[in-house]
Amino acid sequence: MRMRTLLRTLLRSGRLPSGFSRACAPLLLLAGAAAAPAAAAPSFLVVLTDDMRRVDLAYMPHVQALLGEGGATFDAFLASLPLCCPARVTLLRGQYAHNTGVHTNSPPAGGFETAYARGLEKATFATALQRAGYVTGYFGKYLNGYPGPGGGAAYVPPGWSTFLVPVSGEPYAGYDYVLMEEVSPEFPGARFPVPYGRTADDYATDVFAAKTADFIANAVAEGMPFLAFLSTYAPHFPATPAPRHRSLFEELAIPRAPSFGEFDVSDKPRHVSRLPAMRARFALRLEKKHRQRVRSLQAVDEAVAMLVGRLATLGRLDETYVLFTSDNGFHLGDHRMGWGKQSPYETDVNVPFLVRGPGVPPGATVGALAGNTDLAPTLVDLAGAELPYDPDGRSLRPWLHGELGGGAGGAARDGGDAWRQAFLLEHWRGTSRHDRFGKTRIPGYRGLRTRRHTYVEYDTGERELYDLAVDPHQLENSIAAADPALVSALSRRVAALRTCAGARCRALEDMPLPSSDAAATADAERLHSAARHP
């Protein structure tokens, strides 16, 4: 009902974008009913944002209505390494960064160049779906450093039938970029550089959304199942909004959670505890950045509405999974840090993830631990395809089809002992500048996000432990007062997961965590046995 009310409000207010057909609004008002799984192969539309915070969903009414009210919202969808390129490779392959070898945004252990050199693009969810008969299209930001060495601007990664990604220019700013496109019927398959300038029609989010819509229409006309992947640069800085959104949110205040400018950081690791108290002038600066980010997301929100409307008009909405997420989260003043990512805190690792589609209960809330290692296995499973390797992640089909709880309008469920108990967090210290001073870098770390706790071990020897049930904003580092049995068990689990691969990752993630000394001893024996008999 909330979805229908919000849609009617949007219709009356005129906020529906021009690409959204009012004629399809009645179809969307009926979309709250769960669609039966389609007999034919389902299609997929994936929308990926860049550096989006979970709290930013509050400013995206179309996403909330069409995907949240019309599908499932995951409360704990985690980016195992909250940084652009490593996270994007993990999404493509379903593997933790310690298995992809892409740890940062640039060589020698990161960026497109590393992914290309390691042959990671040769087997992804895109190649799997293409082999299964899907037509596939990628639009927008790809991997940091693309095109780079390995084929230059003409290079198209395996698995993509259509690949429209900027090869030069300033796409982060929304304008002045170049795409390689098929522009002449006389040369089918040949791609030529097409420059985009600084007019309103050149705005990157709108261009990529329009090309995604055209790709979908062509696939439907050809009777082909499709995978359309729209990857926006928003709200990554400079977070340039579309001209029509520049004057919005002039008085918008930044969300001031208890972690914003945290009063006492003395219990945190040195890279945080040494930060000075936040001054009012800097808080205002963060607020301006927040407004700009929110403005830039309005075109993304409109793009989702336009594409869902196009699917409805084409008669393909009920057989298409629409997935929305971000590569990583972002902090804006949390724990006294300025703006950035890569920290193990919830602001950075817990990202939006919403799905609507065949069999997905409308209005469902899923509290289970899920993450970016799960996207590839999920898409491949739903498509009836196969990956040529064993991914670290798992399919979320049981949650999407209500097999483990989280039905329509129900309270969030986490699956209890029948689902993942822990998810690995990892970070290699590279060239990141995570705060406003540019002097402090987040040390390397390995950690866990469990159903209840966040536990982190830094390369410096420092540790953090937060009980999210009583401290969701991660204000009190309880490592000093924690039960030694719990800390020991968490540390052993980190040690085991940091080198895991494939089925072993999933087995380790599924092992219950102990709550007593006796259970801790049994847990240690289980891990020792698993090490001897993988």
Active site residues: 84
Helical H runs in 95-243?
A: 97-100, 111-117, 125-131, 204-221
Dist CA 222 CA 293 (whole Å): 38
3-state DSSP of 215-262: HHHHHHHCCCCEEEEEECCCCCCCCCCCHHHCCCCCCCCCCCCCCECC
| CA 172/CA 105 separation, integer angstroms | 15
Distance CA 272, CA 442 (A): 9
CA distances from 397 to 79, 358, 383, 404 (A): 19, 11, 11, 10
Neighbours of 201 (CB within 10 A): 10
Q: Which residues share a beta bridge with 170?
A: 175
And the tokens for 119?
Answer: 């042959």
Q: How far apart are CA 51 and CA 348, in angstroms?
A: 9
Asked if 426 and 81 count as a contact pair (C-beta separation under 8 A), the reply is yes
Read off the tokens for 400. Answer: 């999407």
Name 181's bridge partners: 192
Q: Which residue is associated with the tokens 């997301």?
A: 297
What angle, 0 to 180 degrees and rounded to 10, lies between the N-to-C axes of helices 503-510 and 517-532? 170
Pairing relation of β-strands 72-74 and 353-356? antiparallel
* Helix or strand (DSSP H, E) at 478: none
Beta strand 453-458 pairing with 364-366: unpaired
